[in-house]
């Protein structure tokens, strides 16, 4: 499938000062630099060419006055998301408001926020959700992100399925975003409609990198371990106790294929409900997928899905092969 969106090049960098060490807590309080925990991000905060350490600039809260506060868009596990409008440009942003005491009390939350920021702030691609600015008070951090209308999952709850052309368009954008992440050594690990956002211009944004894993983009080894993510979108190898290490890119590709199948049909390809049963696991491990009539009529689409849903992940289609698929 030919990619319908062009990749954008590299990211915002803040030059590291080797003579100055700034801790996370003091940086937030003073509104200087937020140095993310090195143990969390040291594998992927370096630019390929210049090997400069990324830093995140945290603005003082008084600078937030350049925005008009809008309505609450939603409430997530880390805090409230509210609309903000930049006064000068009238551009809309989604502001995620995170309480600092949550970061201090819960190392897991801090770890996830660190991973989210290191990707969404430093990497630039039109199909990966972007954080543009950070603001801090004594008690809160404000993350200003691209404004999106909602999750793909919400659209599917309302409409059940999408037209084939729109489904293919969204899938092509998902693959573009994954290709960019994989080229930077990032495996998402939790591709599903709830982690895919849609902008007012119908642009797909991959989001929620809390369980992503880092692999080496120098050696092209994308081996990952563990069964993080959402089981309904897991490939068969994650259910096979004999397989202990996996190809991260092939996990993301299978999950993206499940999203495509759901957009086309309104249902999941293997599971009949949101709760996993042993019969469901047996089916994904041993049975071939059965396509409904409307998909069977499209020979090229069936060929693409067959390539994605290979049980043996070594034989599963690659990102490049998907992009070149007719």
pLDDT single digits (tens) 175-193: 999 999 999 999 999 999 9
Instruction: Indicate if 190 belongs to the active site.
Output: yes
**What is the residue extent of each domain of the chain?**
24-146, 150-323
Cα 230 to Cα 85: distance, rounded to the nearest angstrom: 34
Mean pLDDT of the chain: 81
Predicted local distance difference test score (pLDDT) of residue 101: 85
Instruction: Answer whether 115's CB lies under 8 Å from 190's CB.
Output: no
Mean pLDDT of 292-306: 96
pTM of the model: 0.80
Cα 46 to Cα 315: distance, rounded to the nearest angstrom: 32
CATH of domain 24-146: 3.30.200.20
Name the DSSP class of 200. T
More confident residue, 38 or 118: 118
Cα 144 to Cα 70: distance, rounded to the nearest angstrom: 13
For 254, the token pair is: 């299978």
Mean pLDDT of 239-250: 94
Report the interhelical angle of 164-183 vs 248-265 (nearest 10°).
Answer: 170
211 has a pLDDT exceeding 50: yes
Cα 323 to Cα 326: distance, rounded to the nearest angstrom: 8
Pick the CATH number of 150-323 from 3.30.1490.100, 3.30.565.10, 1.10.510.10, 3.40.50.2000: 1.10.510.10
CA dihedral (228, 232, 233, 237) positive or negative: positive
Residue reference for tokens 């003579």: 19
Cα 86 to Cα 322: distance, rounded to the nearest angstrom: 39
Q: Could you tell me which of 86, 188, 67 has the C-alpha nearest to residue 129?
A: 188
Active-site hit among 35, 169, 176, 190: 190
Confidence bin at 118 (pLDDT 50/70/90): confident
């Amino acid at each position: 499938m030919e990619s319908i969106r062009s990749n954008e090049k590299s990211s915002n960098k803040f030059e590291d000062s080797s003579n100055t060490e700034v801790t996370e807590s003091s940086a937030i309080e003073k509104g200087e630099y937020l140095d993310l925990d090195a143990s969390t991000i040291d594998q992927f905060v370096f630019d390929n060419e210049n090997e400069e350490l990324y830093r995140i600039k945290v603005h003082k809260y008084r600078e937030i006055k350049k925005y008009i506060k809008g309505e609450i868009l939603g409430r997530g596990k880390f805090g409230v998301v509210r609309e903000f409008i930049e006064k000068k440009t009238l551009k809309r942003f989604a502001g995620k408001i995170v309480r600092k005491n949550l970061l201090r009390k819960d190392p897991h939350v801090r770890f996830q926020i660190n991973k989210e920021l290191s990707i969404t702030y430093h990497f630039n691609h039109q199909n990966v959700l972007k954080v543009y600015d950070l603001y801090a008070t004594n008690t809160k951090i404000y993350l200003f992100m691209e404004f999106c209308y909602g999750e793909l999952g919400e659209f599917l709850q309302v409409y059940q399925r999408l037209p084939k052309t729109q489904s293919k368009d969204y899938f092509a954008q998902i693959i573009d975003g994954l290709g960019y992440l994989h080229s930077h050594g990032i495996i998402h690990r939790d591709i599903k409609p709830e982690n895919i956002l849609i902008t007012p211009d119908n642009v797909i944004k991959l989001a929620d990198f809390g369980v992503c894993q880092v692999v080496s983009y120098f050696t092209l080894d994308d081996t990952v371990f563990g069964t993080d993510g959402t089981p309904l979108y897991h490939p068969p190898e994650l259910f096979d106790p004999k397989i202990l290490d996996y190809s991260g890119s092939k996990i993301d590709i299978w999950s993206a294929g499940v999203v495509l199948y759901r957009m086309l049909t309104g249902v999941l390809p293997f599971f009949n409900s949101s709760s996993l049963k042993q019969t469901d696991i047996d089916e994904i491990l041993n049975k071939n997928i059965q396509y409904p009539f409307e998909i069977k009529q499209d020979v090229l689409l069936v060929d693409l899905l067959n390539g994605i849903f290979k049980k043996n992940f070594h034989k599963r289609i690659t990102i490049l092969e998907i992009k070149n698929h007719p």
